[in-house]
Amino acid sequence: MVVDDDADLLAMLNLALTRAGYSVIAASNGREALERLEAGDSPDLLLTDVAMPELDGVGLASELSRMKLQLPIIFMSSSAPKELSDRFASERLDWPSEAFVSKPFQLVHIVDAIEGALNALPDTQEHLPLF
C-alpha cells in the first residue's frame, strides 16, 4: 500500500512500482488507507508519507499498532529523521530507522527499501508483491 497526499507522486509511485512487478493499493492519506484496510485490503507492506492531512504517517502507524496489524512500514519524508524519531517517541512507537527514505529520492532507493523489507519477512509467511 502506498500512501501520499501528493497526487503526482502517488501516481508516479503507482506506475513505477506496477512496472517493477508489484500490485499497488494507493491511498491519498492515512484515513483513506485505514478505510481500505478495514474494508479488507491486506497489503504486505506500507509505504507512507509522514506529513499528510486527515491522518499523517505516524498517526497511521499508531493506528496499525492499535489494530495489531503487523506489516513492514517504510516512511517517506523531507523532514529530518531526528524530528520524526521524537514524534515516534511521543506516540510511544518504536522508531524504524532502517525504514526511512528522505524526499526527494530516487526510485531505486524506494525499490531497495521495499525489497529489503519484504525479504526480511519470515519465510513461513506467504506473500505476493502486494503493497
Give the whole-angstrom CA distance, residue 22 versus residue 43: 11
CATH of domain 2-119: 3.40.50.2300
The pLDDT value given to residue 128? 47
pLDDT digits (tens, 9 = 90+) for 47-72: 999 889 999 988 898 899 888 888 88
DSSP track, 30-64: HHHHHHHHHTT---S-EEEESS-SSS-HHHHHHHH
* Domain ranges for the chain: 2-119
H helices of the chain, in order, are 7-19, 30-38, 57-66, 81-90, 107-119
Q: What percent of the chain has pLDDT over 70?
A: 79
Q: How many CB atoms lie within 10 A of CB 62?
A: 17
pTM of the shown model: 0.83
pLDDT tier at 96, thresholds 50, 70, 90: low
Across the range 93-107, mean pLDDT stands at 73
User: Residue 80 has what pLDDT?
Assistant: 57
